[in-house]
Structures are given as structure tokens and as C-alpha cells.
Chain A
């Protein structure tokens, strides 16, 4: 069941109602059961997989507590097992694909389709959460969990499929709070849910047609300079609103049950520099990478420039690979790695020279960031590296500015880009009231705003476009 499906939305009413009616001690079991059922509606065959991941994390966490001397070994065993599961399901097709290419090159027959494996939904997310649990337990930031807690940490359905990537210590204690039903929880949750629904159907899905058409390999070859920039921007907006809408819905549904999930986006296209972009884009992945990969790796080198630059590029390539087994994702990661390195170098220049602190430098970085981020979406979306290079080359040579697609597509992209520009201003105006204090003047406006957004959601529900991040 997709978050935007009617069956899911209708099911939320009894599911959340029963949650609040259930006695406190049953709630966690109830949520666990609902989460498993929810996952089964996607793929009953794969339901065992998150349970196995939980089991591995539980056993290794327990061993770490019992045998302090061997804690490190158990942590690495757990991480290796969890990453092995992720690798088998996620990267096996990549191995098969490349093996096939090599075999064909050697004049031999490639491996058949029987060698391929279906990708279980959410695997990249829940395996990273399990790894974070093991690392936190080892470092004493989290105490050994009960199996039910660990199960709920991994399986809690609002974040199961595509995050936000939560930490054990920020999520699980919330299930033990004796929460009473509060209108504030419900309405704040509804705010996020309904905004997410409208964002997905109105903004993300409507860009999909343009992006799908323009990124076809045959199309890409004949796209003009202008076409390619618009297509890259359209995809950047599509993926942002697609993922942000999913995150809004996830956060909203959890909020309706009094559970707070971490934020995932903070107006990323308003970033003033490449590092700032990563502080605003997929924030829960960024902090995971920062805390569990970047800091430990760089702690060894004490901030020496070359290892730092190397690690930035290497880690960003891994972030690309996390998104999917494909060279396009790696190139996307590498491009971001290079942007981050360039900014680090600039920071050193800034420290030494006063002119580098001028206002134009700030604006220069702002412009560079948006242009560079948009360009990097090309390999992320293109079907092959060859296609990426064709498009990027055309984007670098403004030889032709003709338009190859309906003018409506360009106008739509511009309209959505304008909305994106105005988003922080709008959010500030519509800022939600403090917890439990629904201002009367806002309260009566809510149903009207909900109705308008639901209306938009309803009338645009004809394109069956899956959330992009479900494939990662």
C-alpha cells in the first residue's frame, strides 16, 4: 500500500483510532503487528528480511553486553551480516549486469534472468538503522534493547520504506511514554500528511511526464542545451518533492500517534554552499554518513588536507552507491564529493584572504551550488553513463537553445521552481502553532486548507507514479 493510496488513507482512521484507544502496554505490540501487516501488503515474501536483520542486531547487541571483551568482534560480526544481506539483495544485480557485460565482451553467453533477485523495499533504510544500533550499542550511546523495541525501531511503518533514517535512542523511548490523545498531535500530523499528499500528486507526479520523456536514451541524444538544463532542474524538483512529500507523510502519520520522527529536508535548493546543501538534503542520511563514516574515518588523520579530500570524495561515491547499484549513482556521488572538496579549499583561501569574504563570493557559492547540484542530477537519472555524458556535454555547450518538448512542460518546471523559491517564506507564514495550542484563528482555517489540498490530491491521482526513493 502506497502512502498515497486510498486504501492506506482510509485504513489510517481505524489504525490510529485503535492506537489511541489501546492500553499503553499493548501499543508497542499493536504497532509492531500493524507494521508487519503493512510490509506484507508490499511483499509478503520479503517480510522475513527485516525480521532477520532485527534478529541479527539483537543477538549481536546482546553478546556485546554480555561479553565486553569481545564486544568489538560482535559489533563487526553484526555489521558484516547486515551489510551482507544488503549487498546480496541490492548489489547482486549490479554484479550480474557487469559479469554479463564482461562475458559478452569475451564472446560468451551472459547469465540468464534467473540470476536476478527482486529488491526488497526499504532494505537500504532498515539495514542502515540496524548498523547504527550496533555502533551506538558498542559506543555506549544505546543500551541493549528488548527484541520488541528493536523490532519496532526497524519496522515502525511510517519510516520503514524510505526513512527518515532514525536512531534507536531518538525513536524507541517515545514508545514508552504514556501519551494521552491530544488534538494537537492529530492536527499537526494531519498538516504534514495532507501537505505531503498534495506535494506528491501535484508537484512531483506532474513533473514525471516531462522527465520520463526527456531522459529517454533516444531523446537525450537530440536534446538541446536548454532542454537538458530544464530536464535536470525538473528532475531535481521532482525528486525533491517526491521524497519530501514521502517524508512529510511519514512524519505526519507518526505525529498523529504522538511519535516525532526527525526532519529530512530543510529547503535544500536554498543552500548557500555544497556542505550546506548536505545539511538540508536527506538530512537523516547525511548525519548517518557524518557520524558513522566521515568522523571515524577522519579522526585517524587529524584533518590533514589530502586524506580529508580523498575521504570526502570516497565517502560521497559510497553515498551514491547506497542509492543504487549503478555507475550513474557513483558519478553523482563523485561530483558531490568534488563540490565538497572545492568548498573546503575555498574555506582555506577564505581564512587567509579578506577579499574572499566579500559578498560576491557568498553569492557566487550560492549560484555554484544550485547549478552544480542540478547538473549532478543528470547521472543520477540518466539510463547510462554514456547518456549522462552526452547530456552533460550538451549542458556545457550552449550551442542550441531550441525547445523540443511542449512549452507547458517548461512553464510547469518554472512554476514549480518559483514555488520552491517561495517555500521558506510560505512555511514561515504558515508556521504551526506550539504543541497542544491550536490557535482558534488557525483552527477554523485548517479544514478549509485541508479540503483545498485534498481536492488537489484527489483530482491529480491519475498517474500511478511510485515514490522514487522506494527503489533505493
Chain B
């Protein structure tokens, strides 16, 4: 009896301590401590009060895009104006205040938001499809979706070309819900069956989506193993009973953030560290960019490619050869397909860039930087084209 009591006490204490860890977010606390120790700028420089408007933005940042597309359909239905869709990474959706910029209580727009909000005056219906670390296979994924349906098909796609983004690969889990739509899934399945360099990315996405469906009790295939169905139901029930359990993955993000901070602060390996992009990732990204341009041309959708601004304080290319290879590829695609290519690499001076961790932000612009970019795009897209 005593043995059973000791065992029960040990298990009970374990459960309580695990619950406590889930409640206190220990890695988030560690992140705050690291930022303090290594002199990161105050948290408010990463602006939180951004413009949020479902008519002009995909609000979920790629995590639940279908709801955003429903809102877009509703908004664009019956409206006149040139439909312009901006596709790119977090440079389009974040504001990281520069050293000279003050905190503001007002909501902060990015350059695409400014264009979208002023869209009526310019005769434009602007929409932003962006997500942090968006890969080009993801951009292609979005383009296929937009092109399928008349109601949300843009007249013009403005595609951000960013050296860093060529490093990314894969389709994020949140975007897989788009596969629920049969016509879209058929397009992706066709791509996955092809020989393009990004086909494996799409195959992996389809595999993951199928696994995810099997885990959901409501969609689990009737022939799924008993164990899989029981597990799906158990997870669902645990999530309902214990909200902390359902939120457990935020701790993983905190932990990964912590490791990332350690990498940057201690090893000095920063996202701004110069690099050569080669191998499969480079090939997949290249193929995806080409496919985006081709798919748009087939549907008579105009494409504007632009070299994303780079922070002059940061050196991203490891060698001049890297820069040349990259730019040569983009210029070749633009020339071959006859699409407009705009070089905005030097459009934003160093003082208008944000600060990030203990150094210059390699990707995100400050308030003024966004204003400069908006002005450039007003010139590029303004009504007389």
C-alpha cells in the first residue's frame, strides 16, 4: 500500500509540474533574459499595432488562408479597378522601427497597406499575400489558387524577389487546408507528378495533408487503423479538456526562438551572415519563380518582379559571383518572359531600416522605409499604366 502511495505521489507531482511548465512559458522568459543580456532594442520597435484589414491583406500569415480568401472574394465581387496582388515575405507585413523612430499609438501601415488604402484614388484594388519566410514554392502555391477562380484572379501580380527567400523551401502546414478544394488539389497533384525541381515539395505537402486528415476524427478515413482513429479522438479530447495542452506548440516556438537567439548572440551566426545559396533549395526556388511567371502568362495576368530592398549595412551575398548568379537568373526570366523587372535593392537608405536582436535588421523596414517604398510603387502602379 505504501509503495502504491509513493508511486501515485510521484506521478501526481510529475503531472502537476508538467502542467506548471506548460503554464509559465519558461523559454519565453529565457528569451527575454537573453535579449536583456545582449542588448536587443526594446520590444516596441517590432511594431505590433499594424493595420489589420481583411479586405486588403491575408491576415493569417499563411496559417489559415482560406478564411482570408473568402473575405477577398466578398470584397472584390462587383468592384471595379485593377486588381493587384503583392506576394512576398515578412518585409511586406512587418514594421521594425529604425533607431531614429519613435513609438506611436497609431496603427502602422506597411508600404503595401498604404497602397491598398489609397487604392481607390489610383484605380487599384490591392491585396497583400505575405507570410514570414515565404518560400517561392509557397508563392507558386498561392498563384495557382488565385488563378483558378475568376472572382479572386488578379490582373497583376507583384512578386518580391529576395535573395534570402531563395533559401526557403517547403509549404507551411497552415497552407495545406487549401488542398480541401478539389480543383486546387488537382493542380497541385499535377505539379507533384511532374519533373519540376519543386515537385518534391508539393509531393511532401500532399503527404503531410493526407496524414493530417487521417489524424482528424471528422475526416479520418473509414479504413484508417483503429489506433489512428483512437489517437485522433484522444488528441481532440485532451485539447478540449486542457487548453494548455492545445497551446503546447507555442512552447516549441519559444524554445526554437531561444536556440536561434543563442545562435545569433553567442555564435554570431546571423540571418544577415553572407551566404551562398546552392543545391536543391536554390533549384526549387528558381523553378518556382519561373513557374509563377509562366502560369500568370498563360492566364494573361501581368507580372511585375522587383528586387526587394536590401539593408546597406548588411552583406547577404557571400561573393560577387553569388550576386551575379542570382541577378542573372532574375534578369533572364524577366527578359525571356517579357515581364517588367524593377530594381529596388537600393531604394531604402541605411538609416530607415529596423534594428533586430543586437544588430541591423536585414529584412524589415522602419516607418520611413515603408513610406519610401510606397512612393516608389505609387509611381510604378499609378493609374496611367
Residue ranges of A at the interface with B (Cβ–Cβ < 8 Å): 1-2, 5-8, 10, 40-44, 181-183, 186-187, 190, 212-213, 216, 218-219, 222-224, 227, 402, 404-408, 411, 438, 443, 446-448, 450-452, 454-455, 458-462, 464
Instruction: Let me know if B278 and A458 touch, CB within 8 A.
Output: no
Q: Shortest beta-carbon distance, A257 to chain B, in Å? A: 13
Q: Considering the complex, give the chain B residue whose CB is closest to the CB of A44.
A: B226
Q: How large is the interface on B (under 10, 10 to 19, 20 to 34, 35 or more residues)?
A: 35 or more
Interface flag for B50 (CB, 8 Å): no
24 A–B contacts from the bound complex (CB under 8 Å):
A1-B231, A7-B227, A7-B231, A7-B233, A41-B225, A41-B230, A42-B225, A43-B225, A181-B4, A183-B7, A216-B280, A218-B200, A218-B283, A404-B280, A407-B273, A408-B259, A443-B6, A443-B10, A446-B14, A447-B14, A450-B18, A451-B17, A454-B18, A459-B252
List, in ascending order, chain B residues with CB within 8 A of A181's CB. Answer: 3-4
Q: A411-B269, A450-B10, A459-B255 are in contact. List 13 more A-B contacts (CB 8 A).
A: A6-B234, A190-B11, A212-B204, A219-B280, A222-B279, A408-B260, A438-B6, A443-B10, A447-B10, A451-B18, A454-B14, A455-B251, A459-B249
CB < 8 Å neighbour of B269 from A187, A407, A446:
A407
> Which residues B261-283 have CB closer than 8 A to chain A?
263, 267, 269, 273, 276, 278-283
Interface flag for B215 (CB, 8 Å): yes
Interface flag for B21 (CB, 8 Å): yes
* Given known A218-B283, A455-B21, contact A411–B263 (CB-CB < 8 A): yes
> Which residues B350-376 have CB closer than 8 A to chain A?
none
Q: Could you give, for residues 131-155 of chain B, a 1 whenever the CB lies within 8 Å of some chain A CB and a 0 otherwise?
A: 0000000000000000000000000
Q: Shortest beta-carbon distance, B271 to chain A, in Å? A: 10
Q: Considering the complex, give the chain A residue whose CB is closest to the CB of B204.
A: A212
Interface flag for B245 (CB, 8 Å): yes
List, in ascending order, chain B residues with CB within 8 A of A216's CB. Answer: 200, 280
Instruction: Let me know if A183 and B249 touch, CB within 8 A.
Output: no
Instruction: Let me know if B234 and A223 touch, CB within 8 A.
Output: no
Q: Considering the complex, give the chain B residue whose CB is closest to the CB of A455.
A: B21
Question: In the bound complex, what is the Cα–Cα distance between A2 and B225 (angstroms)?
Answer: 11
* Given known A6-B235, A458-B248, A460-B252, contact A213–B263 (CB-CB < 8 A): no
Q: Could you give, for residues 163-190 of chain B, a 1 whenever the CB lies within 8 Å of some chain A CB and a 0 otherwise?
A: 0000101000000000000000000000
Question: In the bound complex, what is the Cα–Cα distance between A14 and B215 (angstroms)?
Answer: 24
Question: In the bound complex, what is the Cα–Cα distance between A10 and B237 (angstroms)?
Answer: 12
* Given known A1-B230, A183-B3, A451-B18, contact A405–B248 (CB-CB < 8 A): no
- For chain B, what secondary structure do more than half of its interface residues adopt (helix, strand, loop), or is it mixed? helix
Q: Shortest beta-carbon distance, A256 to chain B, in Å? A: 10
- For chain A, what secondary structure do more than half of its interface residues adopt (helix, strand, loop), or is it mixed? helix
Question: In the bound complex, what is the Cα–Cα distance between A396 and B238 (angstroms)?
Answer: 50
Interface flag for B340 (CB, 8 Å): no
Interface flag for B34 (CB, 8 Å): no
Instruction: Let me know if B280 and A402 touch, CB within 8 A.
Output: no
Closest 8 CB pairs of A and B: A404-B279, A451-B17, A41-B227, A447-B13, A1-B227, A219-B280, A7-B234, A459-B251
Instruction: Let me know if A186 and B7 touch, CB within 8 A.
Output: yes
Q: Considering the complex, give the chain B residue whose CB is closest to the CB of A1.
A: B227
Interface flag for B49 (CB, 8 Å): no
Q: Shortest beta-carbon distance, A464 to chain B, in Å? A: 5
Interface flag for B344 (CB, 8 Å): no
List, in ascending order, chain A residues with CB within 8 A of B14's CB. Answer: 446-447, 450-451, 454
CB < 8 Å neighbour of B231 from A6, A213, A218:
A6
Point out which of A44, A402, A411, A455 has the most chain B C-beta atoms below 10 A from its C-beta: A455
Residue ranges of B at the interface with A (Cβ–Cβ < 8 Å): 3-4, 6-7, 10-11, 13-14, 17-18, 20-22, 167, 169, 197, 200, 204, 211, 215, 225-227, 230-231, 233-235, 238, 245, 248-249, 251-252, 255, 259-260, 263, 267, 269, 273, 276, 278-283
List, in ascending order, chain A residues with CB within 8 A of B227's CB. Answer: 1-2, 5, 7-8, 41-42
CB < 8 Å neighbour of A462 from B17, B230, B245, B249:
B249
List, in ascending order, chain B residues with CB within 8 A of A213's CB. Answer: 169, 280
Q: Shortest beta-carbon distance, A65 to chain B, in Å? A: 38
Point out which of A183, A222, A452 has the most chain B C-beta atoms below 10 A from its C-beta: A183
List, in ascending order, chain A residues with CB within 8 A of B17's CB. Answer: 447-448, 450-451
Point out which of A8, A213, A408, A448 has the most chain B C-beta atoms below 10 A from its C-beta: A213
CB < 8 Å neighbour of A10 from B7, B234, B252, B273:
B234
Q: Shortest beta-carbon distance, A19 to chain B, in Å? A: 13
List, in ascending order, chain A residues with CB within 8 A of B10's CB. Answer: 183, 187, 190, 443, 446-447, 450
Question: In the bound complex, what is the Cα–Cα distance between A40 and B255 (angstroms)?
Answer: 37
Instruction: Let me know if B263 and A404 touch, CB within 8 A.
Output: no
Q: Considering the complex, give the chain A residue whose CB is closest to the CB of B6.
A: A183
Question: In the bound complex, what is the Cα–Cα distance between A187 and B279 (angstroms)?
Answer: 48
List, in ascending order, chain A residues with CB within 8 A of B204's CB. Answer: 212
* Given known A218-B200, A443-B10, contact A459–B280 (CB-CB < 8 A): no
List, in ascending order, chain B residues with CB within 8 A of A462's CB. Answer: 249, 252
Question: In the bound complex, what is the Cα–Cα distance between A61 and B269 (angstroms)?
Answer: 64
Q: Considering the complex, give the chain B residue whose CB is closest to the CB of A411.
A: B263
Instruction: Let me know if A459 and B215 touch, CB within 8 A.
Output: no
Question: In the bound complex, what is the Cα–Cα distance between A68 and B249 (angstroms)?
Answer: 62
Instruction: Let me know if A405 and B226 touch, CB within 8 A.
Output: no
Q: Considering the complex, give the chain A residue whose CB is closest to the CB of B170.
A: A213
Question: In the bound complex, what is the Cα–Cα distance between A219 and B14 (angstroms)?
Answer: 44
List, in ascending order, chain B residues with CB within 8 A of A219's CB. Answer: 279-280
Q: Considering the complex, give the chain A residue whose CB is closest to the CB of B282.
A: A404
Question: In the bound complex, what is the Cα–Cα distance between A216 and B7 (angstroms)?
Answer: 47
Instruction: Let me know if B211 and A464 touch, CB within 8 A.
Output: yes
Q: Considering the complex, give the chain B residue whose CB is closest to the CB of A436.
A: B3
Question: In the bound complex, what is the Cα–Cα distance between A189 and B279 (angstroms)?
Answer: 45
Question: In the bound complex, what is the Cα–Cα distance between A461 and B18 (angstroms)?
Answer: 15
Instruction: Let me know if B278 and A455 touch, CB within 8 A.
Output: no
Point out which of A218, A448, A461, A462 has the most chain B C-beta atoms below 10 A from its C-beta: A218
Question: In the bound complex, what is the Cα–Cα distance between A208 and B6 (angstroms)?
Answer: 38
Question: In the bound complex, what is the Cα–Cα distance between A343 and B144 (angstroms)?
Answer: 58
Point out which of B197, B200, B273 has the most chain A C-beta atoms below 10 A from its C-beta: B200
Point out which of B18, B282, B283 has the most chain A C-beta atoms below 10 A from its C-beta: B18
Instruction: Let me know if B18 and A458 touch, CB within 8 A.
Output: yes
Question: In the bound complex, what is the Cα–Cα distance between A357 and B256 (angstroms)?
Answer: 47
Q: Considering the complex, give the chain B residue whose CB is closest to the CB of A221.
A: B280
Question: In the bound complex, what is the Cα–Cα distance between A432 and B283 (angstroms)?
Answer: 51
Question: In the bound complex, what is the Cα–Cα distance between A182 and B263 (angstroms)?
Answer: 46
List, in ascending order, chain B residues with CB within 8 A of A8's CB. Answer: 227, 231
Question: In the bound complex, what is the Cα–Cα distance between A452 and B19 (angstroms)?
Answer: 10
List, in ascending order, chain B residues with CB within 8 A of A446's CB. Answer: 10, 14
Q: Shortest beta-carbon distance, B173 to chain A, in Å? A: 8
* Given known A227-B279, A455-B251, contact A5–B263 (CB-CB < 8 A): no
Point out which of B227, B260, B283 has the most chain A C-beta atoms below 10 A from its C-beta: B227
Instruction: Let me know if A218 and B234 touch, CB within 8 A.
Output: no
Q: Shortest beta-carbon distance, A113 to chain B, in Å? A: 16
Q: Considering the complex, give the chain A residue whose CB is closest to the CB of B17.
A: A451
Instruction: Let me know if B280 and A218 touch, CB within 8 A.
Output: yes
Q: Shortest beta-carbon distance, A97 to chain B, in Å? A: 20
* Given known A41-B227, A216-B200, A218-B200, contact A404–B18 (CB-CB < 8 A): no
Instruction: Let me know if A406 and B7 touch, CB within 8 A.
Output: no
CB < 8 Å neighbour of B245 from A182, A405, A407, A458:
A458
List, in ascending order, chain A residues with CB within 8 A of B263's CB. Answer: 407-408, 411
Q: Shortest beta-carbon distance, A2 to chain B, in Å? A: 7
List, in ascending order, chain A residues with CB within 8 A of B234's CB. Answer: 5-7, 10
Q: Considering the complex, give the chain B residue whose CB is closest to the CB of A227.
A: B279
Question: In the bound complex, what is the Cα–Cα distance between A181 and B4 (angstroms)?
Answer: 8
Question: In the bound complex, what is the Cα–Cα distance between A213 and B170 (angstroms)?
Answer: 10
